[in-house]
Chain A
Amino acid sequence: MIIPLFIVIGPSFADAEMYHVFPIVGHDVSGKEFYEGAKIICQGITNYIIISMIIPYMKNAKSVVRSSIWGFLVASMFVFSTVTICLAVFGEIKILDMYWPTLVLARMVHVPSELLSRVDAIFLIAWIFAVFTTVLSYYFMFVRGMAELFKTKKFQRISFIGIPIAMLIALIPQDTYELYRYIKNTAFIDIFLVIVYPILLLVIAKIRRKKGSAT
């Protein structure tokens, strides 16, 4: 996913305009609007919950913490730079008219020396892979969680039953607008996972006086 993103971001610097980015703090941004945006972006980084679910099964659980923090930072930097370059190219007014600005950016990019006339095909292929791996890792979380909840080891059965349920949930939204409404309405879960849940765990750990020792 990183390489296609580079292909898209690199050449589009030529189209970026400084006056799209300034003023950096935005035009009359209220705290509420800022929160609305932050809520959505939380969904992009909930993957670390999955990593934390498999940490106990790793050999060197301690070194994982450091590398996962690095991974987290790199991923956030990518999200940040993608958003920035999209904003710099399109401007805040135009960007509101689009569903997927990065895809549109990929369609606008001229790769130097005309190696590829359409970058968006490569971009989309990479995107589909990224989406499938993400979805799969969430599914792993679901199966694992369910198994622990019911205290069984029958992962196969759970994943078999889970597939149609996931399919049916995916069929609920009827159009793209509705899909985005669902995304907005479920964002609070991610807020819980990203902010409330770790703090809760920390508090519990402090109360029980457990130090972070490997199990």
Chain B
Amino acid sequence: MKKLFLLTLMIMTLLFLTACWDRYELEERANILGIAIDYADESTEDFTIPEVSHQKDKFPGNNKKLYKITAQLAVPGKIKLGPEGDSSGGSGETSWVLETVGYTMKDALLNLQQQLAEKLYLGHLQIVIVNSEIAKDGLEDINDFLRRDYEVRRTAWMAITEQKASKVLQTAPPMQTVPALYLSQTLDNAMRFGKLPKGYLGKFWVDLDDMGIDGNLPLIKVIERDRIMVTGVAYFIDDNMVSKMSPIELGGYLAMRERNPGGYTVAVSTDDGGVYLVESLRRDSKINITIEDGKPNAVINVEIEAQIEEETKANDLGLKKLEEVELKVNDLANQVFNEEIKSWQEKGADLLGIGARVRAFHSKYWHQEVETEERWREIYKEMDIQVKVDFKIERTGMDWK
């Protein structure tokens, strides 16, 4: 009798052990793959501000600039795995683009949720595209939400665009069925070829908060509605975007930060008119900082292993010629790199993390003279930074001459 009672009790306790209490079927979830953030243009677009998290015109805080958020949702069951014969549908069917406005990120997402039956899920978020206007005013408010939310991956990308971010998100590439996936793949691959710094969210936030180093984000642009061009990177001081670099400058930046593999190619010409395209393969950079008379000096030694990819207007490549090309490319790189550093110094953006290195390796000096990031910027603007580039051309391809 006692055993029977115990047995029933045990079976009954099983009822409390039901798992998956927060289960959501895939179809019931609205997987957001990409978010685009713009300022809402109140004069041209017409919309009503939904009263979800606040009463009408009663959102707390002074900043009354409205964000327009465009979210791209994956339509479950429509995304095909692997290639599919009929691609005439384009990406219009596999994804669903929704727009809403809000005073903050969460406010806008709440408004979005109000329109949807499915639960919004940010775990598959691949890319956040931000309009450069917002980036110039500061990203802190957007970052806070993305950091705080436990669903958002830190390997997602954030990209800046000077066009309408919503337009970029809706590019319809024929290669991938979902635009947001295509976008993030573009950036991932660019990083793998050594064309972009490791700039996904987690890394960007670390640079942003560190003392003596400033962050950067890729800058993208749509061409003809179906392609994405990486037009360089936007760089930041604190969390405000200050300026941008062109891809060739970016190559210099990557070389100085020792990001491998190398991927950028430069064109140089020798005295007899031959034009050579030299691709960097491996970059090696040493940042030496010395303190002299209470002033920091930095010498950056960059060594680049390179190969010649193309030779035009001439056909006499040999040992002597190679040395000449090396010299020419060194001159060019020295000039470009030094100019680049100068322009960053003028803006006060310490992209190479020289401040962080001073803080780490000369902490005594840092604590006596610098201490705050503002003070460091002043010192940084006036400090002497020299770049020495040394190209080593190791390969010339399959042609002897």
Answer yes or no: are A and B bound together in one complex: yes
Binding site for B on A (CB under 8 A): 15, 17-23, 27-28, 89-91, 93-94, 97, 104, 107-108, 110, 117-118
A18 and B153 within 8 A (CB): no
In chain A, what residue has the closest Cβ to B200? A108
Which residue of chain B has its CB nearest to the CB of A89? B206
A91: chain B residues within 8 A (beta carbon) = 206, 209-210, 356
Q: Provide the bound-state CA to CA distance between A19 and B287, in Å.
A: 11
Q: Complex Cα distance A17/B203, Å? A: 11
Shortest CB-to-CB span from B299 to chain A, Å, is: 17
Q: Name the residue on A nearest B362 (C-beta).
A: A23
B124 CB to closest chain A CB, in angstroms? 9
Note all chain B residues with C-beta closer than 8 A to A89: 206
**B123 neighbours in A (Cβ, 8 Å):** 118
B138 on interface, CB distance cutoff 8 Å: no
Tell whether, in the assembled complex, residue B154 and residue A93 are in contact, meaning their CB atoms are under 8 Å apart. Answer: no
* 3 A-B pairs with the lowest CB-CB distances in the bound complex, closest first: A22-B360, A19-B360, A108-B202
A108 close to B360 (CB less than 8 A): no
Contact of A20 with B360 at beta-carbon distance under 8 Å, contacts A107-B154, A110-B155 already known: yes
CA distance A21 to B198 in the complex (A): 20
Known: A104-B154, A110-B155. A15 touches B361 (CB 8 A): no
Q: How far is the CB of A11 from chain B (nearest CB, A)?
A: 11
22 pairs, CB–CB < 8 Å, chain A vs chain B: A15-B198, A18-B360, A19-B360, A20-B210, A22-B360, A22-B363, A23-B360, A23-B361, A23-B363, A27-B366, A27-B367, A28-B367, A91-B206, A91-B209, A91-B210, A91-B356, A94-B210, A107-B153, A108-B202, A108-B203, A117-B155, A118-B123
**In the complex the two chains form, is A94's CB within 8 Å of B205's CB?**
yes
20 additional A-B residue pairs with CB within 8 Å, beyond A23-B363, A91-B210: A15-B198, A15-B203, A17-B356, A18-B360, A19-B359, A19-B360, A20-B210, A20-B356, A20-B360, A23-B360, A27-B363, A27-B367, A90-B206, A91-B206, A93-B209, A94-B205, A107-B153, A107-B154, A107-B155, A108-B203
Residue of A nearest to B205 (CB): A94
Determine how close the nearest CB of chain A comes to the CB of B143; give it in whole angstroms.
11
List the B side residues contacting A22 at CB < 8 Å. Answer: 360-361, 363
A13: shortest Cβ distance to chain B, in Å?
Answer: 13
Chain A min CB distance to B33 (Å): 13
Who on chain A is nearest to B366 by CB? Answer: A27
Give the distance to chain B from A51, nearest Cβ to Cβ, in Å: 31
Q: Is B357 an interface residue (CB 8 A)?
A: yes
Looking at the assembled complex, report how far the CB atom of A110 sits from the nearest CB atom of chain B, in whole angstroms.
6
Check if B210 sits within 8 Å of A93, measured CB to CB.
Answer: yes
Contacts of B206 in A (CB 8 A): 89-91, 94
The docked-state distance in angstroms from the alpha carbon of A97 to that of B361 is: 24
By a CB distance below 8 angstroms, the chain B residues around A15 are 198, 203
Q: Which residues of B contact A27 (CB under 8 A)?
A: 359, 363, 366-367
CA distance A22 to B376 in the complex (A): 18
- Smallest CB gap from A106: residue in B: B154
B274 within 8 A of A: no
Which residue on B lies nearest to A118, using beta carbons?
B153
Say yes or no for B353: interface residue by CB 8 A criterion: yes
Q: Known: A19-B361, A23-B363. Contact between A108 and B209, CB under 8 A?
A: no
The interface residues of chain B lying within 8 Å CB-to-CB of A18 are 360
Is there an interface contact between B202 and A107, defined as CB atoms closer than 8 Å?
Answer: yes
Q: Specify which chain B residues have a CB less than 8 angstroms from the CB of A110 in the assembled complex.
A: 155
CA gap between A27 and B361 in the complex, in Å: 11
Hey, which chain B residues are within 8 Å of A117, CB to CB? 155
Q: Does B135 contact A (CB under 8 A)?
A: no
Tell which of B155, B211, B353, B363 touches A93, judged by Cβ atoms closer than 8 Å: B211
- In the complex, chain B residues whose CB is within 8 Å of the CB of A104: 154, 202
Least distance between A102 CB and chain B CB atoms (Å)? 13
Write the chain B residue with the least CB distance to A23: B363
The residues in B between 329 and 367 inclusive whose CB is less than 8 angstroms from any CB of A are 353, 356-357, 359-361, 363, 366-367
Q: Which of B155, B206, B211 has the most CB of A within 10 A?
A: B206
Report the bound CA distance from A22 to B358 in whole Å. Answer: 10
Give the docked Cα–Cα distance between A90 and B153 (Å): 16
- Return A89 CB to nearest CB of chain B, in Å: 7
CB distance from A111 to the nearest CB of B (A): 10
* B156 smallest CB distance to A (angstroms): 10
Residues of chain B within 8 A of A21, CB atoms compared: 360
A15 to B207, CA, bound (A): 11
Question: Would you give the shortest CB distance from A125 to chain B, in whole angstroms?
Answer: 13
Which residues of B have CB within 8 Å of A94?
205-206, 209-210
A117 to B356, CA, bound (A): 31
Residues in A with CB closer than 8 Å to B363 are: 22-23, 27
A128–B131 Cα gap in the complex (Å)? 40
Q: How far is the CB of B397 from chain A (nearest CB, A)?
A: 29
Chain B's nearest CB lies how many Å from the CB of A127? 14
What A residues does B154 contact at CB under 8 A? 104, 107-108
Compute how far the CA of A34 lies from the CA of B356 in the bound complex, rounded to whole angstroms: 23
Cβ contacts under 8 Å, B211 to chain A: 93
> How far apart sit A52 and B154, CA to CA, in the bound complex (Å)?
42
Q: Please, which residue of chain A has its CB at the minimum distance from the CB of B358?
A: A19
Chain B residues 203 to 247 lying within 8 A of chain A, measured CB to CB, are 203, 205-206, 209-211
Chain A residues with CB below 8 A from B210, complex form: 20, 91, 93-94
